[in-house]
Structure 1
Amino acid sequence: MEQFILIGKSPVLSQQKPIILITGCSSGIGYNAAKTCQAKGYQVIATCRQQADVARLNQEGLTCFQMDMACSQSIQFAMSQILQFTNNRLDVLFNNAAFGLPGAVEDLSRDALRFQFETNVFGTQELTNLVIPVMRTQGSGKIIYNSSILGFAAMPYRGAYNASKFAIEGLADTLRLELKSANIQVSIIEPGPILSKFRENAYTQFKQWIAGKPSAHQENYQAMINRLETVGPSAPFTLGPEAVTQCLLHAINNPIPKVRYRVTLPTKVFAVLKRLLPSRWLDQLLIKAGGNGKR
């Protein structure tokens, strides 16, 4: 495993300002959250999967460590570095690192599903379980999971990602109950469409795992590819990553943060509709919202 040695940083941190660990900071939500929190005076520890991104963020003035969420060894090694740097203190964990692997469920191999879950679920929870003892020792802490509208409302051709976010919500909800007496608070952010490199990264995964293989969904895949190749917003009501950062800041700053933060109008609408509509009615709306891969 490639090791990252922090250069030009002092391990002396303020004892007053919260220390925030944010994963998946190379771009999009994680990058915006890290830069914004640092600008507001918080002590931010960022992580990225690629060494080049780690170097770039350190050059920009962030404290960044390499962490590949799909690799247990990488997570363990990075956490040992981080805790040494922070003197075994972490006040907030923002579990942001994730990616999407688009494709019909029937076209997902066992290996493809495992690949999706390694980062979005297994790596995320492994890291969380390493942070919890630190927060127990401190007597407090906040764990915030970045989920999705697709963590409670499934849409076509997003099965692997849907399942990973449903799993994250189940883990987070259970953890919130189990950690109540430990004074460790657990929140979930559920964004809808957000401007980021998510589609670009998803297209890379589609080409690796799905494209070029026989499928009953080829016609819809072409529409999906057109969406993934679109530059800029491809869905109505798309917001910038700062919308998620504002929810993160609310969770950090409030003594009793919300259990769920719903970001973008589609997330708020479908949260209500899921409670009110019969399942088959909701299915029709979700099919339409997914546009057979077009949105």
Structure 2
Amino acid sequence: MSRKSILITGCSSGIGYDAAYAMRDAGWLVFASCRREEDCEHLRSEGFISPRIDYADPESIVNGLSEVLEATDGTLDALFNNGAFATPGAVEDLPRGALQEIFETNVFGVHELTTLALQIMRAQGHGRIVNCSSVLGFVAAPWRGAYVASKFALEGLTDTLRIEMSDTDIKVILIAPGPIGTSFRQNSIPQFERWVDWENSARAEQYRNSLLKRLYEDAGPTKFELPPSSVSRVLLRALNARNPRARYRVTAVTRAMAVLRRLLPTRAMDAILSRG
């Protein structure tokens, strides 16, 4: 095919939605996948090929990738694993099921789609896997334990895969955004309400004074927040670079935290992060 192809997950809004448009504008053949069929229909109305891929549904992963390969005669130049969600709450209040569910999407489903895409890329002799991590993929923060754990796991898998694929022409890349203006916070509220019994928690008062306000009160963008297009620009650089970097950090917060993590002892870093 004359155009390079990319499969992007989590395109219903935010980073994935912006990336789909940015890549299409750059001349790529974009497969903009979503978890829900109604979101796929919306993207199809905007001219995208939008296979339904839900990381927690193995059948949808296989079927969605098959739809991509049917349209490209069996090739795929790049995969951007962007889909993910958060389950806010103190670690001591997270039941086993909450962790199982977030890992199904943020880790296990990403891994399954990646391994299937790698078979295609090995056969064609090239490809790029780009995984969307987070500043919370290398530093922790209160109330975000489930998401932190999943992104730490994703970074470990990605780093290992990058080393293992170094003898091929398949490049494995991490993008780590910090605060990005999306509906990610709002989308986490149903997970919080489903899994966390905060009223019976030993930290009930802290929930009232801290997390509940952050979740339910829209304070608007922070001074450090960037739009989703900032991630799309980095994605384009990572895909076009002859020798892409292992990690691309987006936002000043992410870059600052990377520096502090290298320089500060753990106790000092904990003191900073405990402020939320």
Specify the TM-score bucket, using the shorter chain as the normaliser.
Answer: over 0.9
What is aligned with 1:9? none
What is aligned with 1:43? 29
Aligned 8 A contact 1:227 1:234 in 2: no
Matched, 1:286 2:273: yes
Matched, 1:261 2:245: no
How far apart in 2 are the matches of 1:228 and 1:184? 39
Matched, 1:55 2:41: yes
The structural deviation recorded for 1:80 is: 1.7
What is aligned with 1:247? 234
Secondary structure in 2 matching 1:98: coil
Larger deviation, residues 231-240 vs 63-72: 231-240
Aligned 8 A contact 1:151 1:166 in 2: yes
Matched, 1:170 2:156: yes
2:108 aligned to 119, 122, 136, which one? Answer: 122
The 5 A counterparts of 1:189-268 are: 189-211=175-197, 214-222=200-208, 223-231=210-218, 233=220, 235-268=222-255
What is aligned with 2:139? 153
Aligned 8 A contact 1:154 1:286 in 2: yes
Aligned 8 A contact 1:20 1:93 in 2: yes
How far apart in 1 are the matches of 2:165 and 2:41? 35
Runs (5+) with no aligned partner, structure 2: none
Matched, 1:270 2:257: yes
CA root-mean-square deviation: 1.2
Q: Give the counterpart letter for 1:54 in structure 2.
A: C
1:28 aligned to 14, 25, 33, which one? Answer: 14
The structural deviation recorded for 1:26 is: 0.1
The structural deviation recorded for 1:212 is: 5.2
Matched, 1:66 2:52: yes
Q: Give the counterpart letter for 1:277 in structure 2.
A: L
The structural deviation recorded for 1:205 is: 0.7
What is aligned with 1:91? 77
Matched, 1:79 2:56: no
Q: Give the counterpart letter for 1:172 in structure 2.
A: T
State how many pairs are aligned: 275
Pick closer, same or farther for the CA change 1:199–1:59 going to 2, 3 Å.
Answer: same
What is aligned with 1:293? none
How far apart in 2 are the matches of 1:225 and 1:161? 17
Secondary structure in 1 matching 2:274: helix
Secondary structure in 1 matching 2:174: strand
Cα displacement string for residues 220-248 of structure 1 (whole angstroms, at most 9, x for unaligned residues): 22221221223364544011001111110
The structural deviation recorded for 1:266 is: 0.9
Pick closer, same or farther for the CA change 1:231–1:201 going to 2, 3 Å.
Answer: same
Secondary structure in 2 matching 1:189: strand
Pick closer, same or farther for the CA change 1:159–1:75 going to 2, 3 Å.
Answer: same
Cα displacement string for residues 146-171 of structure 1 (whole angstroms, at most 9, x for unaligned residues): 00000000000100000000000000
Aligned 8 A contact 2:198 2:207 in 1: no
Aligned 8 A contact 1:35 1:62 in 2: no
Cα displacement string for residues 107-144 of structure 1 (whole angstroms, at most 9, x for unaligned residues): 11111100010000000010000000100011110100
How far apart in 1 are the matches of 2:173 and 2:224? 23
Cα displacement string for residues 161-201 of structure 1 (whole angstroms, at most 9, x for unaligned residues): 00000000000000001111121001101111101110011
Aligned 8 A contact 1:195 1:232 in 2: no
Q: Give the counterpart letter for 1:245 in structure 2.
A: S
Taking every aligned residue pair, what percent have the same amino acid on both sides?
49
